[in-house]
Structures are given as C-alpha cells and as structure tokens.
C-alpha cells in the first residue's frame, strides 16, 4: 500500500530508542563585556569557554586551537559538568551553562540595575547563587532559589544594593512610615 503513496504521505520511519538525539540549538545570551578578544578558531574557543562559564587562559586558548573548536566544546561540557554539578544533566544535554545562569543574572539586573549585574562567577558573592541553597531532603548544597538569590543580592554588602535607587526609595518610604507613626523629625 505504501508504494502508491506520495513521498509526503509516506509514514515516518521510527527512530531507535537509543539513537542519539540532536542537541538543542540554543541562542546563548551575550554579555558585551565578555566578547571574545581573539579571531577565528581562537575566538570560537573563547566564546565556547564563555558559554560554558569556564576560565581559560590565553595560553590554553592557543593550545586548544590546535585541536579545534569541536574538540574544545566536548572538553568544555565535561569541565562545566564538574564545575556546576547540579546543572550537569542539563549541560550534558547540550544546554550551555550561560543559559542556566541567565535567570540569576536577570534577577541581579532587577535588583541592582544593569551596572551592578555584571557577573563574576568565580567571586564568592556571585558563586553563592550556585551553592548557597540547601536541599532540605539531603542537606547538600544546591543553587539558591531565585527568591533566595534576590535576598542575597539585597543583604550581601559586596553587591552594593544599599546604593541603588530602589534601596533609597525603600528607605524614604520607611522614613515616611516612621514619621506618620511618631510625627515629623525635628532638627533640635
């Protein structure tokens, strides 16, 4: 019966269950401060390192250009799985670390403003997002929830939330509430 069907009417051939599925082609957000400084394969390797949020020296970039970007990407995925173990399943599935960390950056932009939200994941005040939470079942460190991260940004002195317009507005509002309760402040 299928020999009389047109190609568009032919049933799809079933893929074996163990066939390797293509990895998702995900657009990674670009931070202009982290734009690659190299050209060609070296620039591609540098971009992959940024996408997987792994540190890489200029010397290592030069060495990896000999192997090529494809080999480096396999290496970067394995290194990122080790550096970010709670994200390892997603990284192994082809999701770059930068995508997984992007919600934390977006919350930081909301709380600190764009200028204060330039992440440095090797800095403890930023890396706290990745291991500052505790799994109630196992007691192990896990990434903070976004609500915990928001509170951390507002309370950790290194982030400078107290200097943001949002903090000043909250302070003014609090002062207004106090004045309503106790009367205006006198300058005696």
Residue 89 resides in a domain: yes
Residue 45 resides in a domain: yes
DSSP secondary structure letters along the chain:
-GGGS-GGGSPPPPPPTTSPPPPP--PPP--GGG---S-HHHHHHHHHHHHTT----HHHHHHHHHH-HHHHHHHHHHHHHHHSGGGHHHHHTT--HHHHHHHHHHHHHHHH-GGG----TTSHHHHHHHH-EE-TTT--EEPPPHHHHHHHHHH-GGG-GGGSHHHHHHHHHHHHHHHHHH-PPP--
pLDDT in tens, 87-106: 999 999 999 999 999 999 99
Mean pLDDT, residues 113-126: 82
Q: How many domains does the chain have?
A: 1
Task: With cut-offs at 50, 70 and 90, classify the pLDDT of residue 171.
Answer: low
Residue 7 resides in a domain: no
Residue 24 resides in a domain: no
Residue 74 resides in a domain: yes
Residue 68 resides in a domain: yes
Residue 11 resides in a domain: no
Residue 164 resides in a domain: yes
**CA atoms in the 13 A half-sphere facing the CB of 93:** 9
State the chain's maximal CA–CA distance in angstroms: 99
CA distance 40 to 48: 13
Q: Which domain holds residue 151?
A: 29-182
Lowest mean pLDDT among 26-30, 90-94, 112-116, 139-143: 26-30
39: pLDDT strictly greater than 80: no
């Amino acid at each position: 019966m299928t020999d009389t069907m047109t190609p568009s009417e032919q049933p799809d051939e079933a893929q074996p269950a163990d066939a390797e599925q293509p990895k998702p082609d995900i657009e990674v957000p670009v931070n202009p401060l982290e734009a690659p400084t190299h050209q060609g394969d070296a620039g591609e390797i540098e971009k992959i390192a940024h996408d997987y949020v792994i540190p890489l020296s200029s010397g290592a970039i030069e060495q990896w250009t000999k192997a090529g970007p494809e080999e480096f990407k396999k290496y970067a995925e394995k290194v990122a799985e080790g550096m970010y173990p709670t994200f390892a399943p997603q990284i192994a599935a082809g999701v770059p670390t930068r995508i997984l960390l992007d919600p934390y950056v977006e919350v930081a932009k909301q709380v600190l403003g764009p200028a204060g939200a330039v992440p440095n994941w090797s800095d403890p005040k930023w890396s706290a997002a990745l291991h500052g939470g505790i799994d109630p079942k196992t007691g192990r460190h896990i990434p903070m929830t976004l609500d915990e991260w928001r509170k951390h940004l507002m309370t950790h002195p290194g982030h400078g939330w107290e200097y943001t317009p949002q903090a000043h507005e909250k302070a003014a509002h609090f002062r207004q509430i106090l004045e309503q309760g106790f009367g205006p402040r006198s300058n005696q």
